[in-house]
Amino acid sequence: MIDQFNIHQSVPLNGEISYEELSAACGLPVDPLRRVLRHAMLNHLFREPNPGYVAHSDASSVFVTDAKMAAWLGHNYDEVFRCLHAVPDAIRNHPTSADPGHTPCGVVFNQPKGFFAGLLQDQPWRASRFEQSMQAVTQGSHDASHIVRGYDWGQYGNGLVVDVGGSSGFQSVAIAECFPNLRFVIQDIEDHSKILLENRTAAGLSSDMQFQVHDFFHPNPQTTADVYLLRHIIHDWGDDYASKILWNIASVMKPTARIIVVDIVIPEPGTLPWQAHRMIRSMDLQMMVMVNGKERTKQDWRKLLANSNSKLNILSISQPPYSVASIIEIGLVH
């Protein structure tokens, strides 16, 4: 409701506003507005500094000052949370299917093609919002710098990094800022070349960065790359689809190339504080609800490679400090 009625944008950043004034500004009757906000305040969103008046908390103000976080809020409240109630129906209808359309998202939005190929394609404004929301998860425990510092990119000199499904290239830009000699090809099914250029210019980079429209369900056209980077890609897909993505790289990559997968590796129960486990399991459910994807344990990752018919082998798994995701280095078995 906060997102749908734009409540966060109607509360002044500095100062306070009465419930009556806020009601008029956002078009929501006073009674439900007051009840919803007082519940939100128990979760540190907004505050009531004086009886009958609303002000921003530190947490709620972020959704006004940071457009990317506002997009993340909209994606989760408007799409993810709306789909949760449809989990039983989706499982009853398709109990073992990994099809991206056989999801709670497909049920709620009547999208037989699912989230990526259906909803985002049919409604470009949602695609734009989702793109922004994904940039929001390059902060905190998802910060792009974890991947920069957590892997030895310098070993490749002026080698070629292919950012598969890399959207507008924000992860590649972060790597290039520290390793300017590397060359990059950012691939995605939609043309994000204009945004890539903007990001590169804003960062003051002179690195060789190109955009290439590519569907990762087809063999990768870049056959001389040193690294194929898949950041938060594989977890969007069930095992059959994920295996195909990996095969389409493995079948063309040179023997010395590496695939770098950046995704969660679910830890053993009891090895992390319960709050960390809860966040990881929540993300796993979000993948199930929206796209029929999944987060995977170490054993799941090994099984996925074994079933991909691609002679791929996990060389190392490391988790940078403060990062929720791990870096999985994969190479060909010689």
Query: How far apart are alpha carbons 69 and 250 in whole angstroms?
Result: 35
Q: Would you list the DSSP string of 282-326? A: HHHHHHHHHHS---EEHHHHHHHHHTTTS-EEEEEEE--TT-SSE
**Contact assessment for residue 326 and residue 298, using Cβ atoms and an 8 Å cutoff:** no
Which residue is catalytic, options 218, 235, 277, 334? 235
**Contact assessment for residue 245 and residue 214, using Cβ atoms and an 8 Å cutoff:** no
**Rg of the chain over CA atoms, in angstroms?**
22
H runs (alpha helix) in the chain: 7-10, 19-26, 30-41, 58-65, 67-75, 81-83, 87-93, 104-108, 114, 120-122, 124-136, 144-149, 170-178, 193-202, 239-250, 274-291, 298-306
Residue recorded with tokens 């109607």: 10
Known catalytic residue: 235?
yes
β partners of residue 55:
47
Query: How far apart are alpha carbons 22 and 189 in whole angstroms?
Result: 42
Q: Please, what is the angle between helix 298-306 and helix 239-250, to 10°?
A: 60
> What type of residue sits at position 271?
T
Query: How far apart are alpha carbons 54 and 8 in whole angstroms?
Result: 10
- For 77, which DSSP code? I
> Which of 12, 47, 46, 6 has the alpha carbon at shortest distance from 26?
6
**Contact assessment for residue 100 and residue 136, using Cβ atoms and an 8 Å cutoff:** no
Catalytic residue positions, numbered: 235
